[in-house]
Amino acid sequence: MTAARKEFLGLKYLDLTTTDAVAASADDNIEITPPDGQIYELIDLSVNIPDPAGSSAGTHTLTIATLGIFSTLNGKLSGKSTTGNYIKMGDYYGITADNSELPSDTSDQLNWFNGKIWASPSYTMKIRYSNDTDVQQAGTRTMKFLFKVYSGVEL
């Protein structure tokens, strides 16, 4: 990876909150790709995903990572919860999930929100919600992201 001069352009806010249903044993994938010549650096997020209502078995997971390294350690940020439990992510409380969290240490989680996940035209940011429960996820998945935007960057 070669990096050229990096110039701060400003902030970008994305609200990806959705009520789109995710079937049992299905995924919902979102990719964020900045325009050519720009990179986005994730600096803050607010995520709240409820338990799939009526579920009696399984887990649901949210993973956020820079594509190209998505499979490494199951992603850069990941929260997995069993039936009856929500998933939350944010710079105030870190990652809250009852089954597994990546990174698992709360102090490490807070550090990961600032500059550890980014997107470029070559390496998009991927957000994957996996519903591995026995019912569809029809609840509102609140997902809000704040990025620093830079120009003059080559990756």
Q: What is the pLDDT of residues 121-141, one digit of tens each?
A: 988 899 999 999 999 999 999
Position 57 scores a pLDDT of 96
In single-letter form, the type of residue at position 130 comes to: S
Q: What's the chain's length in residues?
A: 155
Domain with residues 7-151, CATH architecture: Sandwich (2.60)
Position 5 scores a pLDDT of 63
Position 85 scores a pLDDT of 96
pLDDT band of 25, cuts 50, 70, 90: very high
Distance of CA 116 to the CA centre of its chain: 12
Position 74 scores a pLDDT of 46
- The helix (run of H) or strand (run of E) holding residue 105 is none
- The helix (run of H) or strand (run of E) holding residue 102 is strand 100-102
Structure tokens given for 114: 């600032």
31-50 confidence digits (pLDDT tens): 999 999 999 999 899 999 99
The DSSP symbol for 108 reads H
- Number of neighbouring beta carbons within 10 Å of residue 36: 9
pLDDT of 147 over the 90 cut: yes
What mean pLDDT is reported for the chain? Answer: 88
pLDDT of 70 over the 60 cut: no
Nearest to 137 by CA among 49, 17, 45: 49
Structure tokens given for 51: 């338990």
91-110 confidence digits (pLDDT tens): 777 899 999 988 888 778 87
13 exposure class (CB count in 10 Å sphere: 0-12, 13-18, 19+) = exposed
Distance of CA 151 to the CA centre of its chain: 23
Q: How far apart are CA 34 and CA 119, in angstroms?
A: 7
Quote the pTM value: 0.89
